[in-house]
Amino acid sequence: MERGGVGRNADHWWRHGAPAGRGRSLGLGVLLAACLLLAGCAATQPNIFRPGGSAGHDIRTLAIQVLAILSVVLLVVWALLAFVIIRFRKRPESEASQTRGNLRIEIVWTLIPAVIVTVLFVLTVRTTAQLAPPDRGAQFTVTGHQWWWEFGYPAEGFKTANEIHVAVDRPVNADLVSPDVIHSFWVPQMGGKVDMIPGRVNHTRFIPLASGRYLGECAEFCGFQHGQMRFLLIVESAEEFSAWVRAQRRPAAEPQSAAAVAGAEVAATVGCGGCHTIRGTSLKGAVGPDLTHFGSRGGIGAWTLPNTPQNLLSWLQDPQKVKPKCLMPRVPLPPEQLRQLVAYLEELK
Amino acid sequence: MPAGPVLEAARPRGLGAWLTTTDHKRIGLLYIGTALAFFLVAVAFAMLMRTQLIRPGMRLLSPEQYNQIFSMHGTTMVFLFGMPMLIGLANYLVPLQIGARDMAFPRVNALSYWLLLFGGLLLYSSFAFGGALDTGWFSYAPLTLKAYSPHDGVTFWTVSLVLLGASSILGSINFIVTCLRFRAPGMRLWQMPVFAVATFINSFLILFAFPSLTAAIALLYLDRQYGTSFFDPAGGGDPVIWQHLFWFFGHPEVYILILPAFGIMSEVVPVFSRKPLFGRESMLVMLAAIGFLGFLVWAHHMFATGLPTIFNAIMAGTSMLIAIPTGVKIFNWLATMWGGSLRFRPPLLFACSLIALFTIGGITGVTLAVVPWDWQVTDTYYVVGHLHNVLFAGTVFAVFAGIYYWFPKATGRRLDERLGKLHFWLITVGFVVTFMPLYALGPMGMPRRVYTYAPGQGWDTLNLVSSLGGYLIAVAVLVFLFNVVRSLRRGQVAGDNPWGAWTLEWAATSPPPPGNFTWLPVIRSERPLWDLEQAAAAPAAMASASAGEAAASASLTYALAPEPERNTAVPFWAALALLVTAIGLLSTPVVIGLGIALLLIVLAVWMAEPWVQPELPAVPGRQMSFIGAGMLAFIGSETVFFASLIAADIHLRLHAPADAIGAGLATAFPAVNTGVLIASGVAAHYAQVAYRRRRPQSFNFLLGLTIVLGTAFLAGQAWEYTHLGFGLSASLTASAFFTLTGFHGLHVACGIAALVFLSFRVRREWRVWPGAPSRGSAGMVDAGTYYWHFVDAVWVVVFVVVYLL
């Protein structure tokens, strides 16, 4: 079975070759994505030499060409250095030739780098132009916050946080904004990063070619927890993507278990609504991540921790201990209420 | 050659000698010692960082601590180690290399050093006042605004950088004038040793790059302390303007850190290959090319910010172009070694290691100009690998080569060679083990400036390896330190020229006396001592020449009169006054006033104290006074400062929403005021004419008129400020108005103070030497008038930009 560039973290990054072409990826993608979602695997290794999207592939190709050319230059320099060191050590001083220069040689070794630079420039401009500027139509808006990701689908009427799904083989267009400091949207396996700069709207566009789970990161220093500001990009079939959109549009699931029902009550009374929204309830805060479908997400605190009940309990007990200086304060609650909250949140699928 | 007697006038000893020195050699050593001390601190920070990253989830440092440490590591390495070390070496060596007795402006030279020390100490004091800079050495806005960085670390950084920038700019003016006017007779500018040429070119880079930084930090200071919105989108500002201003400085800055290193390479490689430098003319041209191109590439740090594609493409092209002169230099060094007689002493070992490893850094730099690749790896550990590759395996290795090379000249003793080789191997291996893994970590997705990372992403082993390499580097540095300390007292005694080198510094004793030389060879080429050797070894040729030729060629050297040591505490006090002013910028305006008052007093003493300039080589023909030349260099720097502010202002007003821009300004009163200022400029011009024609009454009157009109202009400005009805932060127009006219007014005020001092100085001179040729004031009169005309010209531009646009 072809690997198809899917992001399992089993092997070392240098062992993987180029992923399969687009046609094969589609069928493969469905199969593999199904396996993966069922297997519930962890976040992937974000290696740009294992691209999963069009831009990622283009850049990888360009990188190999550039690195190949420049490696030759490096080897030539090393070879000359080695030769010189070996050949000309320990000679008597009288044998040192007092040459001051040689115009012909100097012209040659000025022209050769000039030619190399010209080639590299042409390759660069070609690929830069190829990674075409984005369409005007953005499907979703990415808002960078200190230190989490907000994904908004205005047309469909929902927002989510820290995890996003897209359909394979379809162009993805996103607007990138930030209300606070500069962040940078980067999914290494999909392509280059684009900064999110307060006061302007940047765009990113890429075509995911292989289904899977891809790690995204903030790539511009944005303060204390820049290092723990991750998100997950899940590439899946068109059907699965539509299903996901439909699920996200629904308001929050009603709590089923007794603990979850009690947890809903706790959430409504201890002030979670000051920052968080859970659509369909009284919580309508806009400062922190939307928790409407929190239970279906794989991470907590922008993937500071995987989303498990135990981790969620630690997080709720003291977010400052897990992610120091993050903007969620510690709200001391008795252990019983914390467990109920965990039960409630995990049922928000 | 026998050493002549050195004047041992009653000079201060001990600590006092160091505090009051104006000898370029002592100042150089002060710079170098301070740089080494800060280097150790920054290396310690690096060890903390690498330990924090040795495995995922490490809790040695909190995110707050980590962010301060990485920010201060970078800032220290660039501003408190890299620049002072290179400037210190240049300070020590350039006058010696060009056959000068000292720098052109010895007191300003001392002032530059004390500004560096005080700036560094002020920066570090921030640890005790709520935390140091924690936003990275290039500190992007809006993270650095008060809303997101409420503590004072960023403000301390901006104010300290003003002191450090002033230190660097004054230093570069000194080097430019010294190289232009104080070379030994017969030495053409391009015949200076390559290290001196590199320093000369570098000084222009400093002159034109630093003002952009000064403008940026001034605007940041105003945003933080006075509520302006230059970088805050809420008020119409633009965070990207910070990046443009910073990187317009920041990119030339890294060339400022490498050009002298290339200069050191070009000194060391020929001497230890026993051959002349291959392709010397090309090497000098390439140095200038790198320096020039370095100003055209800044936006390659901003490829991910969403600038227009065509702009990115241009910047990619210019960035790749720099690879050509750099590559040529590498080939020239290799060709210098080719056919030579290689002596693998530590200087050449470091040089070879630089060639091998810096080339990787140069190559990865070219890859970073490949825009799509940059989009992937910028802001990742790939860049951390690249920048350390060029600065560590470039600058630091060259510095080590230079220290091993010139230590005997400065101390009279050699560094131990076996320890030197141990140091070399440890640090070369340590460098490779620490930094090569980073080139993999970047493409594997590890962003930079992260205080920790998650397990299972494939980054664990490489980080572990890198940290172990870091410890190896620390051991190497300790070995080096031990070598230095030990060799100072017990090193093998070196003569004047232990390496058999050919540039002028090796004609002086080890260490050289005040005044540097008791004799100098006649300069015929860029290798004066080689020429001397060759001539001395061919007496038969002289015997067969005609009588006239024989007489001429017999004089291969000439003696020099000894120079006294010059000690004065004034530069120290001037730096202290500026430090007090800087502290005032961090506390209250009262302290600013105190600092300025102290400064005015010190400057009065400076102008009044008896001072003998170092001997200026007699060169026929009418030339601009060297003080005037220095002033022109300063004007060049200030032009870039105002241009940066104006560019920022125009950009903001072009792109901001209308309500943020604000209403226009009344122009009638300022137009009149402009006339007043221009009239003062006319008066200044005729004052200069009167001085040259030796007409004291006219001169005094016209200079006084200039001062009065200038003061009237300032009074008019003050009236306007108080009757405007809006403040600094009311709108972008208001901010631009106050910033541009404010800085301009500051320049006018300084100009008035300077002209007041000048009037006293000239009066005294004419009283003491009536009718005699002018004793040094001519240069100052020139300088004062150039400055005043500059202030006028800037006002015209500011007037147009602020009132008419």
Would you list the DSSP string of B719-739?
A: HHHHTSS--TTS-HHHHHHHH
Minimal-distance CA residue of chain A relative to B134: A223
Of residues A30 and A345, the one with the higher pLDDT is A345
| CA–CA separation, B501 and B271 (whole Å) | 6
So what's the pLDDT on residue A67? 96
Cross-chain Cβ contact A106/B332 below 8 Å = yes
Set of chain A residues whose Cβ sits within 8 Å of the Cβ of B238? 199-200
So what's the pLDDT on residue B537? 77
Cross-chain Cβ contact A84/B374 below 8 Å = no
**pLDDT (tens digit per residue) in A209-221:** 999 999 999 999 9
Of residues A129 and A35, the one with the higher pLDDT is A129
In a 3-state reduction of DSSP, which class is residue A175? strand
Set of chain A residues whose Cβ sits within 8 Å of the Cβ of B367? 63, 66-67, 70
Chain A with chain B: Cβ pairs closer than 8 A: 270
Residue A37 in contact with partner chain B when CB distance is under 8 A: no
Considering only CB atoms, B370 lies closest to which of A62, A194, A324, namely A62
* pLDDT for residue B8 is more than 80: no
Residue A215 in contact with partner chain B when CB distance is under 8 A: yes
**Residue in B611, B638, B578 with CA at minimum distance from that of residue B779:** B611
Set of chain B residues whose Cβ sits within 8 Å of the Cβ of A78? 356, 359
| CA–CA separation, A182 and A3 (whole Å) | 36
So what's the pLDDT on residue A130? 87
Cross-chain Cβ contact A121/B320 below 8 Å = yes
Set of chain B residues whose Cβ sits within 8 Å of the Cβ of A105? 335
| CA–CA separation, A288 and A283 (whole Å) | 11
Minimal-distance CA residue of chain A relative to B450: A227
**pLDDT (tens digit per residue) in A140-186:** 999 999 999 999 999 999 999 999 999 999 999 999 999 999 999 99
Cross-chain Cβ contact A128/B373 below 8 Å = no
| ipTM of this complex | 0.92
Mutate to test the interface with B, among A195, A196, A200, A203 (most CBs of B within 10 A): A195
| CA–CA separation, A265 and A341 (whole Å) | 9
Set of chain A residues whose Cβ sits within 8 Å of the Cβ of B452? 227-228
So what's the pLDDT on residue B1? 33
Cross-chain Cβ contact A91/B240 below 8 Å = no
So what's the pLDDT on residue A33? 36
Minimal-distance CA residue of chain B relative to A122: B317
* pLDDT for residue A41 is more than 50: no
Report helix, strand and coil shares of chain A as percent, to nearest 5. Answer: 40, 20, 40
Set of chain B residues whose Cβ sits within 8 Å of the Cβ of A55? 372
**pLDDT (tens digit per residue) in B289-333:** 999 999 999 999 999 999 999 999 999 999 999 999 999 999 999
Cis status of the peptide bond prior to A147, with omega within 30 of 0: yes
Cross-chain Cβ contact A200/B282 below 8 Å = no
Three-state secondary structure of B503-557:
CHHHHCCCCCCCCCCCEEECCCCCCHHHHHHHHHCCHHHHHHCCHHHHHHHHCCE
Considering only CB atoms, A221 lies closest to which of B136, B306, B309, namely B136
For the beta carbon of residue B759, count every other beta carbon within 10 angstroms: 18
Dihedral, B239, B240, B246, B249 alpha carbons, nearest 10 = -160
Minimal-distance CA residue of chain B relative to A62: B373
| CA–CA separation, B676 and B194 (whole Å) | 48
So what's the pLDDT on residue A7? 37
| Rounded percentage of chain B residues whose pLDDT exceeds 90 | 82
Average pLDDT, chain A: 87
Residue type, B182: F
So what's the pLDDT on residue B763? 87
pLDDT band at B265; cut points 50, 70, 90: very high
* pLDDT for residue B120 is more than 70: yes
Show which residues of B are catalytic.
Answer: 73, 102, 137, 167-168, 251, 253, 255, 266, 300-301, 326, 329, 448
Sign of CA dihedral B350, B353, B355, B359: negative
Cross-chain Cβ contact A324/B63 below 8 Å = yes
In a 3-state reduction of DSSP, which class is residue B804? helix
So what's the pLDDT on residue A5? 37
* pLDDT for residue B4 is more than 70: no
Cross-chain Cβ contact A227/B237 below 8 Å = no
Mean pLDDT of A50-69: 95
Cross-chain Cβ contact B373/A66 below 8 Å = yes
**pLDDT (tens digit per residue) in B481-525:** 999 999 999 999 999 999 999 999 999 999 999 889 999 998 989
A344: Cβ contacts below 8 Å, ≥ 6 apart: A255, A259, A260, A261, A262, A263, A264, A266, A267
Of residues B303 and A30, the one with the higher pLDDT is B303
Mean pLDDT of B196-219: 98
| CA–CA separation, A209 and A25 (whole Å) | 7
Mutate to test the interface with B, among A72, A116, A193 (most CBs of B within 10 A): A193
CA distance A290 to chain B (A): 23
A111: Cβ contacts below 8 Å, ≥ 6 apart: none
Set of chain B residues whose Cβ sits within 8 Å of the Cβ of A48? 376-377, 443-445
Interface of A with B in 266-295 (CB under 8 A): none
| CA–CA separation, B213 and B644 (whole Å) | 9
**pLDDT (tens digit per residue) in A219-255:** 999 999 999 999 999 999 999 999 999 999 999 999 9
Sign of CA dihedral B765, B766, B769, B773: positive
Set of chain B residues whose Cβ sits within 8 Å of the Cβ of A202? 305-306
* pLDDT for residue A1 is more than 90: no
* Residues A190 and A55 sit within 8 Å (Cβ to Cβ): yes
| CA–CA separation, A107 and A115 (whole Å) | 12
* Bridge partners, A174 (sequence order): A140, A204
**Residue in A58, A46, A14 with CA at minimum distance from that of residue A187:** A46
Interface of A with B in 135-164 (CB under 8 A): 146
Mean pLDDT of B15-25: 95
Mean pLDDT of B436-447: 97
B620: Cβ contacts below 8 Å, ≥ 6 apart: none
* pLDDT for residue A8 is more than 80: no
Average pLDDT, chain B: 92
Mean pLDDT of B579-601: 97
Could you give the count of Cα atoms lying within 13 Å of A245 in the half-sphere of its Cβ? 17
| CA–CA separation, B561 and A324 (whole Å) | 68
Region label for B360, one of left (φ > 0), alpha (ψ between -120 and 50) or beta (otherwise): alpha
Mutate to test the interface with A, among B370, B382, B441, B449 (most CBs of A within 10 A): B370
* pLDDT for residue B16 is more than 80: yes
* Residues A197 and A168 sit within 8 Å (Cβ to Cβ): no
* pLDDT for residue A25 is more than 80: no
Mean pLDDT of B23-48: 98
Interface of A with B in 109-128 (CB under 8 A): 109-110, 113-114, 116-117, 120-121, 123-125, 127-128
* pLDDT for residue A15 is more than 60: no
In a 3-state reduction of DSSP, which class is residue B618? coil
Set of chain A residues whose Cβ sits within 8 Å of the Cβ of B68? none
pTM of the shown model: 0.92
